[in-house]
């Protein structure tokens, strides 16, 4: 079993003990509803290459008729069934914490998208979608995938298109609502692209208000959807203009400038070179060095297990916003709490993605008039996202103060209590 899964199960048991959870709840939360494994074949240079596509459904505290499982699709070499199980568990908690009526899911394939041509990638995505269709997913009422690492709006459009194309084989009541994260003009919604980044910044700003602490300088690990959009929003929007980004990184390494990076010139460099590591407008640093920089706020926005017991004592940031899932290990979390370094945990900090996905799903189902009006939709998205993210961090902050625990523990407790009450209602369990 992957260490991360073992640790995640330990974390669930710890939260369960803390709230005095009944046995049935621990049973529900430490098992998965179903795991779909699909063989995908690609013909390449006259040879066959095989992939295992996986979709995990963890727990759906709501009725599956109408309230689907929700969770991203990840294309990354590190994808395994255990990792996807952990990420599906995180999705269950995240939806419960944000009050979204979805179950937790995750899917993916162990591959690096940049190793394949667009045509090859589309073939892989279409086969995966076809295999899923045989199991009646994706479906607006059963399972609605969205984007995660290595997956963009193009991939989500290919999935949607395959479902629409196969309507004679498996009719879907509302094909647009089968996936979220689609491109604008193809069922997508304004603001989904940068939703996770915006959500993390909204919670950073709100936490600063709640704790009456001014934060200015930031270091961002990861320059993909989440990391680069954090930089883009800081660069472009008045609401976040008081932040100064001192360092960014990607898988190749990072760059640091004590006076703040010139983000305009960084984006221009990135457009040509597709990496930030050799950007000449600052000093080259490693990912390890970035994590230990003396900044106000550290935003890990790349991959899991970046802050561990090995480097937690060396973290100099005054606040961590865990934008990536599972970026901080359980032991590191305890060290940071002892060191009085507050952490806005992943299930709170990066919930913006699924919050805006839920708006896209609602719009696709006709819960909002469907005319194309970019500005009105954008305003709707930003207002809803702001209200939900601020409410979530406020609840987490208050709970952590009330229980004298970390915000990580507080968020897990709120999520588990919500799931307990919903599952008890659904299955007539006694609490």
Q: Catalytic amino acids?
A: 106
Minimum distance from residue 325 beta carbon to ligand NAD (Å): 4
- Tell me if 298 contacts ligand NAD by CB under 6 A: no
Minimum distance from residue 277 beta carbon to ligand NAD (Å): 9
In terms of CB distance, is 123 or 224 closer to ligand NAD? 224
In terms of CB distance, is 125 or 303 closer to ligand NAD? 303
| Of the candidate residues 68, 71, 150, 342, the single one contacting ligand NAD (CB under 6 A) | 150
In terms of CB distance, is 93 or 148 closer to ligand NAD? 148
Q: What is the 3-state secondary structure (H, E, C) of the chain?
A: CCHHHHHHHHHHHHHHHHHCCCHHHHHHHCCCCEEEEEEEEEEECCEEEEEEEEEEECCCCCCCCCCCEEEEEEECCCCCHHHHHHHHHHHHHHHHHHCCCCEEEEEEECCCHHHCCHHHHHHHHHHHHHHHHCCCCCECCCEEEEECCCCCHHHHHHHHHHHHHCCCCCCCCCHHHHCCCCCCCCCCCCCCCCHHHHHHHHHHHHHHHHHCCCCCEEEEECCCHHHHHHHHHHHHCHHHCCCEEEEEEECCEEEECCCCCCHHHHHHHHHHHCCCCCCCCCEEECHHHHHCCCCCEEEECCCCCCECCCCHHHCCCCEEECCCCCCECHHHHHHHHHCCCCEECHHHHCCHHHHHHHHHHHHHCCCCCCCCCHHHHHHHHHHHHHHHHHHHHHHHHHHHHHHCCCHHHHHHHHHHHHHHHHHHHHHCCCC
Q: What angle do CA 230, 93, 315 make, to 5 degrees?
A: 50
Stretch that binds ligand NAD, among 127-135, 225-233, 374-382, 383-391 (CB under 6 A): 225-233
What is the x/- site pattern for ligand NAD, positions 396-425, by CB under 6 A?
------------------------------
Q: d(Cα 242, Cα 117) in Å, to the nearest integer?
A: 41
Q: d(Cα 29, Cα 104) in Å, to the nearest integer?
A: 11
| Of the candidate residues 104, 147, 188, 190, the single one contacting ligand NAD (CB under 6 A) | 147
- Tell me if 225 contacts ligand NAD by CB under 6 A: yes
In terms of CB distance, is 228 or 364 closer to ligand NAD? 228
Stretch that binds ligand NAD, among 6-14, 48-56, 224-232, 418-426 (CB under 6 A): 224-232
| Of the candidate residues 156, 189, 324, 347, the single one contacting ligand NAD (CB under 6 A) | 324
Stretch that binds ligand NAD, among 157-165, 266-274, 317-325, 397-405 (CB under 6 A): 317-325
Minimum distance from residue 181 beta carbon to ligand NAD (Å): 7
- The site that binds ligand NAD (CB under 6 A) totals a number of residues, namely 24
In terms of CB distance, is 283 or 421 closer to ligand NAD? 283
Residues 170-199 that bind ligand NAD (CB under 6 A): 196
Stretch that binds ligand NAD, among 28-36, 127-135, 136-144, 220-228 (CB under 6 A): 220-228
Residues 248-287 that bind ligand NAD (CB under 6 A): 249-251, 287
In terms of CB distance, is 164 or 314 closer to ligand NAD? 314
Minimum distance from residue 25 beta carbon to ligand NAD (Å): 25
Question: Contact residues for ligand NAD (CB under 6 A)?
Answer: 147-150, 196, 221-227, 249-251, 287, 301-303, 323-325, 350, 353
């Amino acid at each position: 079993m992957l260490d991360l899964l073992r640790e995640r199960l330990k974390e669930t048991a710890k939260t369960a003990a803390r709230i005095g959870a009944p046995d049935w709840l621990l049973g529900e939360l430490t098992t998965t509803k179903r795991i779909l494994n699909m063989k995908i074949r690609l013909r390449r240079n006259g040879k066959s290459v095989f992939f295992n596509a996986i979709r995990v459904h963890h727990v759906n505290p709501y009725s599956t008729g109408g309230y689907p499982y929700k969770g991203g699709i990840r294309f990354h070499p590190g994808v395994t069934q255990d990792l996807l199980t952990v990420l599906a568990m995180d999705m269950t908690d995240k939806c419960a914490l944000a009050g979204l009526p979805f179950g937790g899911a995750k899917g993916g394939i162990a591959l690096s998208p940049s190793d394949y041509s667009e045509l090859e990638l589309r073939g892989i995505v279409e086969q995966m979608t076809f295999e899923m269709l045989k199991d009646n997913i994706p479906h607006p009422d059963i399972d609605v995938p969205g984007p995660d690492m290595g997956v963009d709006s193009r991939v989500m459009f290919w999935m949607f298109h395959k479902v629409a194309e196969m309507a004679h084989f498996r009719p879907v009541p509302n094909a647009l609502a089968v996936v979220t994260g689609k491109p604008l003009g193809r069922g997508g919604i304004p603001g989904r692209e940068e939703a996770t980044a915006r959500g993390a910044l909204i919670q950073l700003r709100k936490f600063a208000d709640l704790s009456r602490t001014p934060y200015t300088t930031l270091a961002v690990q990861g320059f993909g959807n989440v990391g680069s959009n954090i930089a883009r929003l800081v660069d472009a929007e008045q609401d976040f203009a008081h932040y100064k980004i001192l360092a960014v990184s990607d898988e190749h390494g990072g760059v640091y400038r004590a006076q703040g990076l010139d983000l305009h010139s960084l984006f221009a460099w990135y457009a040509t070179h597709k990496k930030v590591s050799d950007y000449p407008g600052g000093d080259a640093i490693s990912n390890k060095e970035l994590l230990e920089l003396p900044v106000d706020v550290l935003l890990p926005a790349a991959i899991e297990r970046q802050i561990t017991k090995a480097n937690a004592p060396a973290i100099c940031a005054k606040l961590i916003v865990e934008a990536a899932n599972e970026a901080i290990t359980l032991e590191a979390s305890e060290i940071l709490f002892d060191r009085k370094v507050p952490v806005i945990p992943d299930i709170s900090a990066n919930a913006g993605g699924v919050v805006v996905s839920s708006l896209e799903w609602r719009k696709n189902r006709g819960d909002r008039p469907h005319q194309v009006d970019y500005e009105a939709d954008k305003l709707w998205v930003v207002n809803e996202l702001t209200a939900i993210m601020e409410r979530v961090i406020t609840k987490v902050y208050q709970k952590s103060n009330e229980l004298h625990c970390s915000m990580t523990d507080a968020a897990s407790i709120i999520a588990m209590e919500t799931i307990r009450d919903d599952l008890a209602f659904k299955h007539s369990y006694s609490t």
